């Protein structure tokens, strides 16, 4: 027994040593939650300027950090008129235009890589398994809508494995029921790509499309918009049953802005859509009841110019509305509570396009 | 009387030596030899400058952008030759009119012109009017006006000029001018072809490496045909037809140019510009009548379905009378019919538009020292209300002796700009209910001229204050089209300009020196967005300076010119290093050239060798667009005269 007691310190030391060598403690968390958690506002800026940036908003501490991406990358300016931001498997993907590329950041927004091969005018992306599907316009799609495609990026091998020709200028993407849905911005249709065969079919719409949202049942909302090159009387909100690929239209003058012009509340009972009617085209946010499939009479916001994007904080349900004041001047972010009360207004970067929530 | 004669001699002396620069403002100069003479007679106190013949010669293979960027204190926002727009006295690109005969060649859809697509080879004169000139030129002349001129030669015989110019980065210009006439009838044909590969090397700031510019090729060609007939010395008919086909690749930003997925696309612009004018000075009331036609077509990326085109017919009738040498007036009527054909305009909104201008001008000279002018203009536009635009000007000869004159001048003018067709009718975003932009321009200056046998100089110091209200900007609304035009701002642009031109003659040497400096702060006084109030306008440098020195001896000529362009604010959103807004660095340029005139087979030949950007400066005129470094140009010109001209 004495021997055992004498050996106890040795055993304790051994246990401590073994414990200190355990896998858990050996791997240092590179992206601790307390540093990552927050709302990240992607500021588009504009072509031919250096105004693109990411603003970080720590909503717990009510702390705003402008030029967060530049802070994390030794002052380097994104340069790239970022179109869309997306998180998948601890990587942040930003679709950049001018130059055309997908920029990959880690969750702390430290630049990791860029994808340029087979990436021409990237618009949007969605992940499914090991693949990231990237909607690309392929060039001046407004002059030739046959040049657009979907790039299939393997997130493991980090290469674009193939491209799927998809005329019509794909914009928003969603995956549902084993199919990739692409909102076409230069055709009155939503393209449906069978992910196993890559066969393409189409759902006809009453206007060109821009953005897709998936509800809890795996069905999709699509924004149908009138643009100057494709004016339409058929604008509105479309609801696609992904089992039958049938669409139901709910008329509304939708925003023709890109990125996030629709957002679902956390309980998916409400859909917020940026829209307006008449001239001047002053913006507003309409509320769509997803149960009754009707727009509420009272808008969330009325008569605010420059509304560009809307998002819902997945943690507390606050609604973030982005106001664009121009490509070279700072924009605003209005924060509404889930019950539609204006809480705060924050100054963000130029031409804020969308908000990404990380935790 | 003696003073008057001396003044007259001085005026004659200075005019003869400085005709290329400017005429004496107290001397009423009616240059019949110039088809498109300046408007100074009725614009006392206005600052009007002419580009010298030497400077025009140096830049003849280039564009209006190349010329003004090198030799004037004007800022042009430009890339490497495809697109350039002017910012005259801090105003925007659509605040400057470019006048060819009775036509303002600015696009009616955009409101502005591409200064890189105005070839200097086709023109004999370029005059600049600083400040508001709406009272004489109509809509859009808030910041200033450019006049493209053609000299009338009344050729008696046959004359051929030919030029070939070759420069770095695949630049070539071939041009010819053919003059045929019998002293009464004259045909002048001017043709040119210009191309530049623009495959220069640039350093990409992000990685410090050097790359070759791609996607910036330019190919322009044009024909300017004059047909002139002189009934007698006081009566003539002149017609000019200018056909222009300009194509360029849309130069990508550096970041795109260095990428491996660059998409190159071109922009094609075709123009037909015709102006025909009959003038009769045989009667107490002189009169002239002109008609014109303009067709502008733009095709983006070879997509004919997205055509942007306008056709316009212009007619003008003007009468003028000098009742005495001290008092005269003119009055006129101008009419324009415009038919746009733009893919994004709805025919229900705009089918055609008519514009009519009534104008009257007068001058009065008192005590041979004071000249006063008055200009009145009222334009009428279909379904649109346009403000009345008067202007008054004065010149006062403060001091005169046998060799020098000191003059004070001032001008107050109102200006306006009718919103462009795009502003009013583009898609669903255009707003037909926009107000016209309205400006007030106040100008004062002092001028000193000295003329002796060996030295002449002309110095001007001008101060100006411009207040432009209802400034139209396209800004986002986020709904149904994203960007819409709005009457957003009130902008103040003020400044001081110094201009000097001097010539020194001794022992057969002729040394010309010009120096220009402009200090031009701007301020957004009011704006729909409070955070912009008090800010300066983007792409408006506060400081611009340039100098030009030329030595001539026998048949040799050596020239050096340099310019400085101050920093420019490029946004208000900034970066982590410049949170108040990013600035584009100031830059300096130095160019030089040497030329030699030869006689070969009894015909004159001119050889010129230029070095541009001598110091090989790495600079950006427009943010993120690469500009060429040092380049070399060799040109050869002939002027074959088979009959002596009148």
Distance from CA of B573 to the nearest CA of A (A): 5
Using pLDDT thresholds of 50, 70 and 90, give the confidence band for residue B482: low
pLDDT at B388 exceeding the cut of 50:
yes
Quick one: pLDDT at residue B223? Answer: 98
Query: Taking a contact as any Cβ pair under 8 Å apart, which residues of chain B between 514 and 553 contact chain A?
Result: 529, 531-532, 538
Quick one: pLDDT at residue A278? Answer: 36
pLDDT at A13 exceeding the cut of 80:
no
Residue of B nearest to A353 (CA): B478
Q: What is the mean pLDDT of residues A348-353?
A: 93
Residues 6+ apart with CB under 8 A from A339: none
Report DSSP state, residue A47: T
Using pLDDT thresholds of 50, 70 and 90, give the confidence band for residue B535: very high
Quick one: pLDDT at residue B540? Answer: 95
Q: Give dist(CA B267, CA B457) in Å, integer.
A: 45
| Chain A contact for B17 (CB, 8 A cutoff) | no
Least confident residue range of B13-17, B147-151, B474-478, B638-642: B13-17
pLDDT at A17 exceeding the cut of 70:
no
Element (H, E) at B365: strand B353-366
Quick one: pLDDT at residue B25? Answer: 37
Residue A69's nearest CA partner among A102, A34, A113, A105 is A105
pLDDT at A19 exceeding the cut of 70:
no
Q: Give dist(CA A114, CA A158) in Å, integer.
A: 10
- Give A94-121 as a DSSP string: EEETTTTEEEEE-TT--EEEEE-TT-SS
Side-chain-side CA neighbours of residue A133 (13 Å):
23
Of A50, A100, A257, the CB nearest to B582: A50
Instruction: Return the exposure string of B415-446: e unless at least 16 CB atoms fall within 10 Å of the residue's CB, then b.
Output: bbbbbbbbbbbbbbbbbeebbbbbbebbbbbe
Q: Do A98 and B260 touch (CB under 8 A)?
A: no
pLDDT at B455 exceeding the cut of 60:
yes
Using pLDDT thresholds of 50, 70 and 90, give the confidence band for residue A276: low
Q: Do A305 and B477 touch (CB under 8 A)?
A: yes
| Chain A contact for B81 (CB, 8 A cutoff) | no
Of B262, B572, B575, the CB nearest to A329: B572
Residues of A in contact with B624 (CB under 8 A): 48-50, 79
Q: Do A101 and B484 touch (CB under 8 A)?
A: no
Q: What is the mean pLDDT of residues B75-80?
A: 96
> Checking phi first, is residue B183 left (phi over 0); if not, alpha (psi -120 to 50) or beta?
left
Quick one: pLDDT at residue B629? Answer: 97
* Neighbouring-strand partners of residue B607: B596, B636
Least confident residue range of B8-22, B121-135, B618-632: B8-22
Instruction: ipTM value, please give it.
Output: 0.82
Of B529, B577, B623, the CB nearest to A75: B577
Mean pLDDT of chain A: 87
Q: What is the mean pLDDT of residues B518-522?
A: 97
Size of interface A-B (CB pairs under 8 A): 193
> Checking phi first, is residue B576 left (phi over 0); if not, alpha (psi -120 to 50) or beta?
alpha
**Are B131 and B441 within 8 A, CB to CB?**
yes
**Are B114 and B83 within 8 A, CB to CB?**
yes
pLDDT at B33 exceeding the cut of 60:
no
Collapsing DSSP to helix, strand or coil, B530 comes out as helix
Largest CA distance in chain B: 77
Residues of A in contact with B205 (CB under 8 A): none
Over residues A106-160, the pLDDT tens digits come to 999 999 999 999 999 999 999 999 999 999 999 989 888 999 999 999 999 999 9
Query: Taking a contact as any Cβ pair under 8 Å apart, which residues of chain B between 333 and 352 contact chain A?
Result: 343-344
Of B306, B577, B623, the CB nearest to A49: B623
| Chain A contact for B484 (CB, 8 A cutoff) | yes
Collapsing DSSP to helix, strand or coil, A15 comes out as helix
Q: Do A67 and B484 touch (CB under 8 A)?
A: no
Q: Give dist(CA B120, CA B85) in Å, integer.
A: 16
Over residues A23-62, the pLDDT tens digits come to 444 556 667 777 889 999 999 998 878 899 999 999 999 9
- What is the phi/psi pair of residue B425, to 5°? -125, 0
Q: How many residues make up chain A in this entry?
A: 359
Residues of B in contact with A146 (CB under 8 A): none
Task: Report cis status (omega within 30 of 0) of the bond before A280.
Answer: yes
Over residues A310-322, the pLDDT tens digits come to 999 999 999 999 9
| Chain A contact for B582 (CB, 8 A cutoff) | yes
Distance from CA of A15 to the nearest CA of B (A): 49
Q: Give dist(CA B31, CA B54) in Å, integer.
A: 20
Distance from CA of B619 to the nearest CA of A (A): 16
Is B56 or A301 the better-scoring residue by pLDDT? B56
Quick one: pLDDT at residue A84? Answer: 95
Q: Give dist(CA B467, CA B454) in Å, integer.
A: 43
Over residues B557-584, the pLDDT tens digits come to 999 999 999 999 999 999 999 998 999 9
Interface test with A, best of B344, B480, B583 (most A CBs within 10 A): B480
Over residues B605-628, the pLDDT tens digits come to 999 999 999 999 999 999 999 999
Over residues B229-246, the pLDDT tens digits come to 999 999 999 999 999 999
Which two tokens mark B130?
Answer: 């600083």
pLDDT at B426 exceeding the cut of 90:
no
Residue B142's nearest CA partner among B89, B101, B103 is B89
Q: Give dist(CA A100, CA B313) in Å, integer.
A: 43
Using pLDDT thresholds of 50, 70 and 90, give the confidence band for residue B275: very high
Q: Identify the CATH number of the domain defined by range B2-21+25-643.
A: 2.40.170.20
pTM of the model: 0.87
* Neighbouring-strand partners of residue B286: B320
Residues of A in contact with B532 (CB under 8 A): 329
Residue where the block lists tokens 């600015």: B106
Q: Give dist(CA A5, CA B480) in Å, integer.
A: 81
Residue of A nearest to B434 (CA): A280
Q: What is the mean pLDDT of residues A68-79?
A: 92
Least confident residue range of A64-78, B73-87, B198-212, B476-490: B476-490
Residue A83 class from Cβ within 10 Å (0-12 exposed, 13-18 middle, 19+ buried)? buried
């Amino acid at each position: 027994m004495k021997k055992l007691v004498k050996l106890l310190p040795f055993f304790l030391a051994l246990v401590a040593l073994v414990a200190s060598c355990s896998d858990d403690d050996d791997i240092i968390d590179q992206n601790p939650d307390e540093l990552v958690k927050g709302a990240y506002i992607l500021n588009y800026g504009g072509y031919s300027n250096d105004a693109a940036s990411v603003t970080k908003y720590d909503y717990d501490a009510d702390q705003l950090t402008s030029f967060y991406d530049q802070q994390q990358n030794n002052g380097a300016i994104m340069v790239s008129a970022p179109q869309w931001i997306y998180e998948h498997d601890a990587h942040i993907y930003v679709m950049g235009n001018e130059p055309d590329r997908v920029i990959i950041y880690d969750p702390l927004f430290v630049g990791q890589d860029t994808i340029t091969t087979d990436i021409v005018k990237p618009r949007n992306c969605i992940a499914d398994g090991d693949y990231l599907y990237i909607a690309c316009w392929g060039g001046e799609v407004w002059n030739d809508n046959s040049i657009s495609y979907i790039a299939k990026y393997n997130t493991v091998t980090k290469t674009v494995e193939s491209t799927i020709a998809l005329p019509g200028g794909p914009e928003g993407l969603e995956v549902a029921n084993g199919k990739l849905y692409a909102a076409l911005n230069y055709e009155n249709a939503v393209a449906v790509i069978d992910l196993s065969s890559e066969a393409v079919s189409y759902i006809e719409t009453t206007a060109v499309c821009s953005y897709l949202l998936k509800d809890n049942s795996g069905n999709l909302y699509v924004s149908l918009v009138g643009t100057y090159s494709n004016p339409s009387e058929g604008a509105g909100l479309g609801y696609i049953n992904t089992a039958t690929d049938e669409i139901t239209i709910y008329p509304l003058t939708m925003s023709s802005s890109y990125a996030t012009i629709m957002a679902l509340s956390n309980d998916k009972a409400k859909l917020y859509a940026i829209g307006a009617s008449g001239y001047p085209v002053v913006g507003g946010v309409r509320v769509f009841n997803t149960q009754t499939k009707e727009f509420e009479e009272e808008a969330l916001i009325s008569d605010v110019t420059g509304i560009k994007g809307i998002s819902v904080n997945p943690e507390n349900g606050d609604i973030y509305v982005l106001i664009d004041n121009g490509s070279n001047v700072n924009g605003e972010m209005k924060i509404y509570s889930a019950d539609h009360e204006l809480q705060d207004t924050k100054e963000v970067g130029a031409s804020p396009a969308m908000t990404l929530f990380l935790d | 009387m003696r003073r008057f004669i001396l003044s007259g001699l001085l005026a004659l002396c200075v005019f003869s030596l400085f005709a290329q620069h400017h005429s004496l403002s107290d001397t009423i100069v009616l240059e019949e030899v110039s088809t498109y003479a300046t408007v100074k007679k009725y614009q006392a106190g206005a600052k009007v400058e002419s580009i010298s013949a030497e400077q025009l010669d140096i830049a003849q293979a280039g564009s209006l952008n190349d010329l003004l960027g090198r030799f004037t204190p004007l800022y042009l926002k430009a890339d490497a030759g495809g697109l350039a727009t002017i910012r005259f006295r801090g105003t925007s690109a659509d605040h400057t009119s470019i006048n060819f005969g009775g036509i303002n060649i600015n696009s009616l859809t955009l409101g502005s012109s591409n200064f890189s697509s105005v070839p200097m080879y086709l023109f004999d004169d370029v005059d600049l009017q600083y400040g508001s000139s709406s009272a004489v030129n109509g809509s859009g002349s808030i910041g200033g006006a450019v006049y493209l001129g053609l000299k009338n030669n009344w050729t008696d015989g046959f004359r051929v000029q030919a030029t070939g110019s070759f420069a770095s980065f695949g630049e070539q210009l071939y041009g010819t001018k053919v003059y045929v006439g019998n002293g009464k009838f004259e045909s002048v044909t001017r043709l040119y072809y210009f191309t530049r590969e623009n495959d220069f090397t640039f350093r990409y700031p992000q990685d410090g490496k050097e790359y070759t510019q791609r996607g910036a090729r330019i190919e322009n060609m044009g024909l300017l045909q004059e047909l002139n007939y002189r009934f007698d010395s006081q009566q003539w008919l002149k017609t000019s037809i200018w056909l222009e086909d300009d194509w360029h690749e849309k130069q990508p930003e550096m970041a795109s140019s260095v990428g491996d997925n660059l998409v190159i696309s071109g922009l094609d612009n075709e123009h037909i510009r015709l102006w025909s004018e009959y003038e009769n000075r045989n009667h107490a009331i002189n009169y002239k009548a002109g008609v014109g036609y303009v067709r502008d077509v733009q095709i983006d990326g070879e997509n004919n379905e997205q055509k942007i085109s306008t056709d316009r017919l212009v007619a003008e009738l003007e009468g003028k009378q000098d009742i005495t040498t001290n008092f005269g007036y003119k009055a006129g009527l101008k009419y324009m019919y415009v038919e746009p054909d733009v893919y994004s305009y709805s025919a229900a909104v705009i089918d055609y538009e008519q514009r009519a201008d009534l104008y009257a001008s007068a001058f009065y000279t008192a005590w041979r020292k004071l000249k006063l002018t008055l200009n009145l203009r009222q334009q009428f536009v279909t379904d649109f209300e346009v403000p009345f635009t008067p202007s008054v000007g004065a010149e006062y000869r403060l001091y005169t002796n046998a060799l020098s004159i000191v003059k004070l001048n001032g001008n107050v003018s109102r200006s306006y700009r009718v919103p462009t067709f795009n502003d009013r009718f583009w898609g669903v975003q255009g707003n037909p209910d926009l107000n016209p932009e309205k400006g007030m321009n106040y100008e004062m200056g002092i001028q000193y001229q000295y003329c002796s046998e060996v030295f002449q100089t002309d110095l001007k110091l001008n101060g100006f204050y411009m207040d432009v209200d209802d400034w139209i900007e396209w800004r986002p609304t986020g709904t149904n089209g994203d960007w819409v035009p709005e009457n957003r701002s009130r902008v103040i642009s003020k400044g001081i300009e110094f201009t000097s031109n001097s010539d020194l003659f001794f022992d057969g040497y002729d040394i010309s020196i010009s120096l220009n400096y402009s200090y031009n702060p701007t301020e957004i006084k009011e704006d729909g967005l409070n955070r912009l109030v008090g800010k300066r306008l983007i792409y408006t440098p506060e400081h611009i300076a340039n100098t030009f020195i030329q030595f001539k001896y026998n048949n040799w000529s050596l020239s050096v010119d340099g310019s400085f362009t101050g920093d420019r604010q490029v946004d208000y959103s900034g970066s982590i290093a410049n949170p108040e807004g990013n600035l584009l660095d100031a830059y300096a340029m130095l160019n030089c050239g040497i030329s030699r005139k030869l006689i070969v087979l009894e015909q004159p030949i001119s050889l010129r060798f230029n070095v541009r950007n001598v110091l090989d400066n790495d600079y950006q005129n427009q943010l993120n667009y690469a500009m060429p470094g040092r380049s070399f140009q060799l040109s050869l010109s002939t002027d074959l005269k088979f009959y002596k001209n009148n």
